[in-house]
Structure 1
């Protein structure tokens, strides 16, 4: 039974403030008593004057507490006084209140959560992490300062849902010069990274239950996003020419979306050949499918001329070109983009203004300034030279210790993939390496088809000093030998 005579805490904290207002204490006590069943439904509460006297507080404190409970629906009033609301009290013993509702992780997330490594920026050999200490932070601050100075009060409200005009213009020019992407600024939508870009593709181009083709091995996070969007993923094998579409699959399992990384397949490093690119575009047109071209690190080509985008091969192809700045600049920038075909943006623009909201206005303006000033291009040129040097150092170290193992990739990007003997437990090796601050990842975890799984390690070099790579590989060798 609830005891109204228990005094409230009128003490003060060391800073001189009351630990909680008397009204709040009384409200909390009465709420808990009602929810735990100590005050049953229909129970008449003490009159405000009498309760105030019992607790040694002012009547206004009790009146305010009762009014608060009334506003929340805990109590009702009638001519006889204030009562606990009917059918409200839970009437469950307090001991049982602490039992949490059982939770089971959705099936689509089980494999992702069980294999996901907790990686951080200070881990050596972590794939996908750029050279953070080489980013021109002072220059970026100046771009941010200029962006702040350019803002006026009206601009503190909502911006264009599809992104800042200045950034879309700067991006259109950069993508044309650097990646061969042909588009107008109006075709570009600014997103909060690649994840939102993929979610936008799901919204615009699919219905629940549609099929999406993904590379196998491939970017697992993309497959998880598709499955989370109620799509059915179908893995396609990858060889030295990129994704290899089996004979007859277009007729038997046509997709709504096809997810590809043609410039630098992740994680094998293969480049999608021109014949396969043209064939993919041709069949996608015939079957009404859309191709997502994820150009996640196409800016970093180390051998020969840059591999141009697939989007620029043919006019008005069924290609959605996406990218982000997490690898070219830094991950926490959380800015990406989608380039939609002109026909799509014409049809979908009005709907996009309703369903999409761009953000990070200040950072968008700053990034536009960073690109227009030439700093972005200069930074990319410096990083290409640096990553080329680090990739060569990593390849030398791996070749010295693993002369008989295949090393995949190396012509682009910020990682190499070391193939290990089939009996090697790459998952255990990666976990042991992670414990020693070596952020390598298990190659087998990038496969969806269990029959196609191969053992290996995906090894990054972007954020590892050249002078430290040989020692890091030696540590990795010791872990492999002991696992």
Structure 2
């Protein structure tokens, strides 16, 4: 056999000479090119054939023998009798079959939409006060000590938990102290934790219909049974038969700004849900994802604070109020569960980024966070108005607009029988993100046909141009 054919060009040159030979022989054995019991040339003979030092060959032989690929005795060196698979081609569907059943629904390719026009849920990153944040980080690192480089407290840094609790009590009417606040890696991480902490596989979880797919994904991954509950003008509207036939363990809600349609859950409905949840032993997950950006009056108080010991886990995030790459959110759990949640997280989910958490606490306590929120409320109000005006100008008579009272996106329902999925795909090819509302439907209910359009990243002076581009795509589908 011509052993030089096993070597790639340059593989046995320079410092990698001996290791290159080792890798080439190892690969040939694994591939079956060198079959079991094949006798290899002596180290002297192979060194001469490959024009390399004998010590390099000895190194390769000895290393392969130590790993069990070669057998060496007085009669020479030969390939060990390894039982290797003959086929180098993975069997059909092997990639999917190796996934757990709960993960297989997520195996399909997902389009990355970040930072394209109308991407919902992403703030105006160009308007974040980076310099002020950098100073907060620098001060935090200057004060840091070696112990801050180890794993942190499972619930997060106490200084940040205190800052969040104070902010929520003052701004959202949340009844809590710092011991109930747990720092997470964002809302999706919080949802994953809720599904694992508070429900078992096979339990029922309610979500709004249409509703946030991130919540549905977390519940699917936890092997929960999902029931979509229809909405009306006052928000989620479960019937008594829903409670009786599919009593939920978890109820996921976006009461301050329903995602994706933007309605606000009425006070009467909030109180009813709290009472029924207590009656049926359910736990409400209140996702307050963008309540800081309410424009029609002050932000509505959270459901969590409407009754003593409310059966509510309150979720919040800094991904929308600051920036997504911060990867920091939080959940506020009922007081009687706090110690048990802390114990579980201590054993299953160590935390880090103590220095960044301390910087965030300073950013909040110094007024930087509040100042940024005020500026963004004003900016987003102007961009919402610009989008509404452009939508009415270019699509008036074809759409109905929802959700302008809060947040960073509008939803539009198409009043004609277009395919929102097809239009969404066509828009993405032109650099526009128009997420199809029909994809947010759960169960057999008729889907809403339309789009979610984020306006936070689109400057007012470019809004008309971008909306017209989308309108042209929609109208071409008629």
Counterpart selection for 2:386 from 390, 393, 397: 393
Does the aligned pair in 2 maintain the 1:407–1:417 contact within 8 Å? Answer: yes
TM-score by length of 2: 0.92
In the TM superposition, residue 438 of structure 1 has moved relative to its aligned partner by 2.0
1:378 paired residue number: 371
Q: Is the alpha carbon distance of 1:113 and 1:53 closer, same or farther for their aligned partners in structure 2, counting shifts above 3 Å?
A: closer
Local SS of the residue matching 2:93:
coil
Q: Is the alpha carbon distance of 1:475 and 1:356 closer, same or farther for their aligned partners in structure 2, counting shifts above 3 Å?
A: same
Deviations 1:25-47 (A, max 9, x none): 11122112211223222334334
Does the aligned pair in 1 maintain the 2:257–2:291 contact within 8 Å? Answer: yes
1:413 paired residue number: 407
Local SS of the residue matching 2:139:
helix
Deviations 1:137-169 (A, max 9, x none): 111111111111111222211111221111111
Deviations 1:47-67 (A, max 9, x none): 434433433333332232123
Could you tell which deviates more after superposition, 61-70 or 254-263?
61-70
Alignment of 1:1-400 (within 5 A): 2-4=1-3, 18=13, 21-78=16-73, 80-90=75-85, 92=86, 97-98=88-89, 101-103=92-94, 117-121=111-115, 123-400=116-393
Deviations 1:7-39 (A, max 9, x none): 967959xxxx95661122111221122112232
Residue 428 in structure 1 maps to residue 459 in structure 2: no
Q: Is the alpha carbon distance of 1:116 and 1:97 closer, same or farther for their aligned partners in structure 2, counting shifts above 3 Å?
A: closer
Q: Is the alpha carbon distance of 1:242 and 1:116 closer, same or farther for their aligned partners in structure 2, counting shifts above 3 Å?
A: farther
Q: Is the alpha carbon distance of 1:256 and 1:440 closer, same or farther for their aligned partners in structure 2, counting shifts above 3 Å?
A: same
Local SS of the residue matching 1:359:
coil
Local SS of the residue matching 2:452:
strand
Could you tell which deviates more after superposition, 259-268 or 241-250?
241-250
Local SS of the residue matching 1:87:
coil
CA distance in 2, matches of 1:32, 1:113: 30
1:471 paired residue number: 465
User: Which 5+ residue runs of structure 1 have no aligned equivalent?
Assistant: none
Does the aligned pair in 2 maintain the 1:74–1:88 contact within 8 Å? Answer: no
User: Which 5+ residue runs of structure 2 have no aligned equivalent?
Assistant: none
Q: Is the alpha carbon distance of 1:343 and 1:88 closer, same or farther for their aligned partners in structure 2, counting shifts above 3 Å?
A: same
Could you tell which deviates more after superposition, 313-322 or 75-84?
75-84
CA distance in 1, matches of 2:113, 2:348: 33
Deviations 1:225-260 (A, max 9, x none): 211121111111112211111222212111211111
CA distance in 2, matches of 1:104, 1:251: 40
Q: Is the alpha carbon distance of 1:7 and 1:136 closer, same or farther for their aligned partners in structure 2, counting shifts above 3 Å?
A: closer
In the TM superposition, residue 305 of structure 1 has moved relative to its aligned partner by 1.9
Q: Is the alpha carbon distance of 1:11 and 1:217 closer, same or farther for their aligned partners in structure 2, counting shifts above 3 Å?
A: closer
Could you tell which deviates more after superposition, 257-266 or 79-88?
79-88
Deviations 1:297-340 (A, max 9, x none): 01110101211111111222111111211111111111111111
Does the aligned pair in 2 maintain the 1:76–1:83 contact within 8 Å? Answer: yes
Local SS of the residue matching 1:406:
strand
Does the aligned pair in 2 maintain the 1:115–1:445 contact within 8 Å? Answer: no
Local SS of the residue matching 1:457:
strand
CA distance in 1, matches of 2:74, 2:249: 65
Q: Is the alpha carbon distance of 1:267 and 1:8 closer, same or farther for their aligned partners in structure 2, counting shifts above 3 Å?
A: closer
Does the aligned pair in 2 maintain the 1:422–1:454 contact within 8 Å? Answer: no
CA distance in 1, matches of 2:170, 2:123: 22
**Size of the alignment, in residue pairs?**
473
CA distance in 1, matches of 2:173, 2:414: 36
Q: Is the alpha carbon distance of 1:144 and 1:61 closer, same or farther for their aligned partners in structure 2, counting shifts above 3 Å?
A: same
In the TM superposition, residue 6 of structure 1 has moved relative to its aligned partner by 5.5
Counterpart selection for 1:443 from 405, 426, 437: 437
Local SS of the residue matching 1:67:
helix
